Structure 1
Amino acid sequence: MSDNASVSYDFLPDEIVTQILIRLPIKSIITSICVCKTWKSIIQNPTFISTHLHHSTTTNHLLLFTISSLSDQIYALHNDDDNDFTEHTRFDFLVDSFTINPRFRVVATCNGLVCLSDDIFGHTNQFYLWNPCVRKYVKLPYPNVTFDNRDESIHTIGFGFDPKINDYKVVRMVSLWDDLDCKDRPKVEVYTLSTDEWRMVTPVLSPICILNYIETPEFVNGAWHWIGFRRNEYFVLVLDLGYEVFREIPLPELLDYNRKEDCSIELSSVYGNSIALFHRSDFRGFLNIWVMKEYGVVSSWTKVKTFTEHNPGVDLPIAVGFRRNSQLVLKVQNLKLISLDLGKQNGKDLGYQNGKDLGINTYTGFDTYTFVGSYVESLVLLDKATNGAVTN
């Protein structure tokens, strides 16, 4: 054989090649693109990407940790099924040099995509869809709804997958407010990845209410969920991803909420396709965890845990989210993260102790931003011509 002769891989049927490739680690799959044109064509085929996603979802259980400070940001994947909670890999999100805010808030993760917003330290209406595994991102066009006076507007953003049209959607709701009172119905716009465009949702369908711009909506059962407020009443506002219509879910009747005190109500998703409620008061020194045992059934709201402190506001934990095994992730003592089994009442240190241990530069008086959410490695965006490529 000539030294210049190339190796041929065409002796294997495409079906066999597909079954081999789909079981490889994702880094090996990416490397295999360079083996030959046939393999590249197979791997970048939308059917292969979809099949790989299904396989990865059932076998690949990871948690994404994101911790940000004024000068640093870390994205780390951990094995959620590992008792030692070992770190799987870390990523850097590198964007163009013209980005005003280089630190991003993770809005949500879905099928390997991470939706990022630049509103941690103020916002410029810039959003990204990023797949760290394939090192590609899409920079979304600027939304339609903007306001010159940011002090009078509140915006919130959500992200999810619509199986009806096999497409990814980003929703953005913008409200005008005056003295914690909503002036009008929120303006709602939806971005779809396939069209790369924002479009307005019929305004008459959105209720008059205020949403917390800091809170990211939880995506459960094909719908986004927010905590909404109107006329001294709090409720769960739900927007169906496919039909793009609103509905409401009442909060627990026993929920004791006083707006005059330092209270907060936040939503979280729970494995098992339901929602949870984090009701916290630094003033009174408690954190209540509520879970809707049966999704959509108001009577199934159940208080599953109460944390109290003798010295209100001191060392009161912050609920971050839930793991696949339904354990609750709490942030204590600034950056220390623990995983708590609500049934056995025992906790496990996840190894995140402080900013220095993580390589994060923190500053006195500055509370770092922490995100914890499920993640699955995927090839989504690999077949797309994106307007940005990340090189780590």
Structure 2
Amino acid sequence: MSDNAKVSWDSLPVEIVTQILLRLPIKSIIISTSVCKTWKSIIQNPTFIPTHLHHSTTTNHLLLFSNLLSINPIFRVVATCNGLVCLSDDRLEYTNQYYLWNPCVRKYVKLPYPNFSFKNRDEFIHSIGFGFDPKTNDYKVVRMVSLRDDPDCRKDRPTVEVYTLSTGEWRTVTPVLSPICILHECETPAFVNGALHWIGFRRNEYDDYQLRYFVLVFNLGDEVFHEISLPELPEYNPNQDSSELSVVNRNSIALFHENCFRGFLDIWVMKEYGVASSWTKVFTFTEHNPEVDLPLALGFRRNSELVLEMQSLQLISLDLGNQNMKDLGINTYSYTFVGSYVESLVLLDKAANGAVTN
């Protein structure tokens, strides 16, 4: 073949080269930035990273598993979103350190210290949430802190701070915008439909001896709160019952309600997001032997299978429809995080905003 007959990559239309690059593995895309100026320009184009992310979320899906020892004995995984992993040091120690890390492009951003801090964490209930704001195409970390000892549950509002990746700064949400309530103890809120979801509670306005529990929703776009009722939970005891929210079907929330003293774990699913009447109990684990622990519900896979940590510290996947169980071949340790993960190029273009290569 003569030199004139050879096909040059530079002679291909940019549209075709872009489609080829979008389908390459992450490592190959990064290497491609050094092949030629044209490829580098295509990859660094502001539209390439979100286009690649869209392609990745529709064709590639992974189950992210981590435990406390596999990352660092100090940091835990808070949540994942679009290939970014949010890390916090609030598991063993507490020095107000947070990171956003993309393991695929080997870049991370260390967040500045928040505006509000406390030395004695036993006095506060603290929770960190992480998600993507489609309204501004920005990533946000939300920090909620409420007093642990507030017997009235009527006076205090949680302190709310929001970190945005685009600005690299924390800012405090106007106090009057946060509702008067206390956060229920939880590791991480559920992020779905552009909003974070916690469990909050306050005194019943008609009965001082009763607490009213509800889903506290914080919309990342408008940065406003609203509430969704929880299902009726008879004889709910905040000193014995454990409750967590999780994302299910990628567009709604589920409730894990456990009472180890009475030996049950109920799985509730909100069939229609935002409609309290659609809460449905889909599964119940019961254990009549008080010496045997119930399984720990960790979350849902993208196929809506429930991931459980068994007494043997192995992870299994449960199909709630046919109730089939599948061993995932993973053993856990002292802390376990299971979540959805997609490979992405997010942070590849953030060198100017403090992203560091690790």
Q: Does 1:177 align with 2:177?
A: no
Distance of 2:29 and 2:322 partners within structure 1 = 41
Aligned residue in 2 for 1:56: 56
Report if the CA contact (8 A) 1:286-1:312 is conserved: no
Distance of 2:291 and 2:125 partners within structure 1 = 27
Report if the CA contact (8 A) 1:190-1:199 is conserved: yes
Superimposed CA distance per residue, residues 179-202 of structure 1 (whole angstroms, 9 cap, x where no aligned partner): 666551111111111110111111
Sort the Cα spacing of 1:257 and 1:290 in 2 relative to 1 into closer, same or farther, 3 A.
same
Alignment of 1:231-270 (within 5 A): 231=203, 232-260=211-239, 262-270=240-248
Alignment of 1:284-363 (within 5 A): 284-312=262-290, 314-353=292-331
Identity between Structure 1 and Structure 2 (%) = 77
SS of the equivalent of 2:15 reads: helix
Counterpart code for 1:113: L
Shift of 1:203: 0.7
Superimposed CA distance per residue, residues 239-295 of structure 1 (whole angstroms, 9 cap, x where no aligned partner): 1111111111111124441234x3201101101411100011111111000111111
SS of the equivalent of 2:10 reads: coil
Alignment of 1:45-84 (within 5 A): 45-68=45-68, 72-74=69-71
Structure 1 vs Structure 2 CA RMSD: 1.9
Shift of 1:32: 1.4
Alignment of 1:162-241 (within 5 A): 162-178=133-149, 182=153, 184-231=156-203, 232-241=211-220
Aligned residue in 1 for 2:92: 121
Sort the Cα spacing of 1:125 and 1:343 in 2 relative to 1 into closer, same or farther, 3 A.
same
Report if the CA contact (8 A) 1:73-1:103 is conserved: no
Task: Say how many residue pairs are matched.
Answer: 343
Sort the Cα spacing of 1:54 and 1:255 in 2 relative to 1 into closer, same or farther, 3 A.
farther
Counterpart code for 1:203: P
Structure 2 residue aligned with 1:380, among 340, 346, 358?
Answer: 346
Report if the CA contact (8 A) 1:285-1:313 is conserved: no
- Segments of 5+ residues of structure 1 without an aligned counterpart are 1-6, 75-100, 356-367
Shift of 1:102: 5.0
SS of the equivalent of 1:73 reads: helix
Report if the CA contact (8 A) 1:156-1:212 is conserved: no
Alignment of 1:68-147 (within 5 A): 68=68, 72-74=69-71, 102-147=73-118
SS of the equivalent of 1:50 reads: helix
Return 112-121 or 247-256, whichever deviates more.
247-256
Sort the Cα spacing of 1:313 and 1:249 in 2 relative to 1 into closer, same or farther, 3 A.
farther
Sort the Cα spacing of 1:58 and 1:255 in 2 relative to 1 into closer, same or farther, 3 A.
farther
Report if the CA contact (8 A) 1:271-1:325 is conserved: yes
> With structure 2 as the length reference, what TM-score do the two structures score?
0.91
Distance of 2:258 and 2:46 partners within structure 1 = 44
Aligned residue in 1 for 2:4: none
Counterpart code for 1:43: I
Aligned residue in 2 for 1:389: 356
Counterpart code for 2:216: L
- Segments of 5+ residues of structure 2 without an aligned counterpart are 1-6, 204-210
